[in-house]
Structure 1
């Protein structure tokens, strides 16, 4: 008799997002907007899974919430929307297999590559009046999580994903427009996704099996 691990996982995740940059507070984990999306995983073996996610969220920040007195006195704020597609690898600290009661939970490390779409200011049409355009950029995401079996073929996970972007304009910073020239030009923006996922596992690999 053999026990075969399930190879596919599909599900939903919900939680919060926050931005780290030149506006507002500088807390690394401070969810202040709702985020959500879908997730798919393909388990190569009990230790490694390939995964893809699609995420929708807003990011926003306000100098009124800053602990830095210079930011507080400046009084800037912004809101932007983000659509993100990410592909990556999940490394389980312990072997993970919902069909084996000894292996139904584990912490994990996540490394990804992400493309995200957001809005930037294209030009100033009048004092403090702007036109916007869509922009696609890239981020190097990494994260940590903990997952455990919930019931039957369902599992739940708590996860924190950090996105280091190669951009400094998620907050509409624009060095070509005087009213939007602010902050540190040598420091790019981040956004953080914190939440829980619920996934359903199905399918069995043709070759992978654990003998008794």
Structure 2
């Protein structure tokens, strides 16, 4: 597939860069918030639902271009019961999810910026790349937490990892010869629709487990609509999600970086 070729090219470029441009390595860490858009939050791209933190190692090719290896953690969650949408409140689904992301990203600085050189003290920048995310949506029922992927709440098994495509923008500010502050916001297109365990339809009986205990929990976790009212709306093969093909998640934060500068620095 094309994305595999792209990922391989980025990996090889990174290895070459670390060998040839070691004098301009940069490391950093940041913390902030995480959010998501999907079946339980289709309209609020800036909604923060949990904390995030991460770190990276970066090689700067020149004051404008850089390539980094990144790790990010973020917690996302949503609860229909707290929605302003009446239909969502009636559906009454909820989830929480810990995201672990590893990615390769390219930065482009608009100004001639670099913590160990360059003429500008600050610069806005753009970034994009490719990565992967590991996830595991969970929900609480009667005080107990359940791994939703294990119960196939729509009668469909899915992987708890996916390809992701990050993109975003930020600003960097040099506070010393080797130190910089940064702030950024970045979205990720995840190649899965199950970050929230919701995709399309309520399952029919033929897709449920033959084990009676598992089958009962599948039915309970699939349709939470009648827990408070006794009026369950999750009829088999009726709409449960919004039918969008992919979920999106987001990290926003502030951080600090340190650049290893040598006499060979550009």
Please give the TM-score of this superposition, normalised by the length of structure 1. Answer: 0.83
Which of 164, 168, 173 is the matching residue for 1:143? 168
Counterpart Cα distance in 1 of 2:50 and 2:180? 25
Q: Which residue is 1:199 aligned to? A: 257
Are 1:56 and 2:81 matched, yes or no? Answer: no
Which range is displaced more, 132-141 or 43-52?
Answer: 132-141
Q: Which has the higher helix share?
A: 2
CA deviation profile, 1:65-93 (whole Å, cap 9, x unmatched): 33333113322110011110010100011
Q: Which residue is 1:3 aligned to? A: none
Unaligned segments of structure 1, at least 5 residues: 1-5
Counterpart Cα distance in 2 of 1:66 and 1:122? 23
Are 1:14 and 2:41 matched, yes or no? Answer: no
Unaligned segments of structure 2, at least 5 residues: 1-22, 138-147, 204-221, 224-238
| Cα RMSD after superposing both structures | 2.6
Counterpart Cα distance in 1 of 2:247 and 2:199? 13
How far apart are residue 177 of structure 1 and its match?
A: 6.2
Are 1:170 and 2:195 matched, yes or no? Answer: yes
Q: Which residue is 2:113 aligned to? A: 96
Q: Which residue is 2:64 aligned to? A: 47
Q: Which residue is 2:151 aligned to? A: 124
Which of 177, 188, 191 is the matching residue for 2:246? 188
How far apart are residue 29 of structure 1 and its match?
A: 1.2
CA deviation profile, 1:114-134 (whole Å, cap 9, x unmatched): 101112644439xx8xxx986
How far apart are residue 31 of structure 1 and its match?
A: 1.6
Counterpart Cα distance in 2 of 1:174 and 1:187? 8
Which range is displaced more, 187-196 or 171-180?
Answer: 171-180
CA deviation profile, 1:86-107 (whole Å, cap 9, x unmatched): 1010001111133458412100
SS at match of 1:158: strand
How far apart are residue 155 of structure 1 and its match?
A: 0.5
For the pair shown, the structure with the greater C-alpha radius of gyration is: 2
How far apart are residue 17 of structure 1 and its match?
A: 0.1
Counterpart Cα distance in 1 of 2:67 and 2:256? 17
Counterpart Cα distance in 1 of 2:50 and 2:263? 38
Counterpart Cα distance in 2 of 1:174 and 1:160? 26
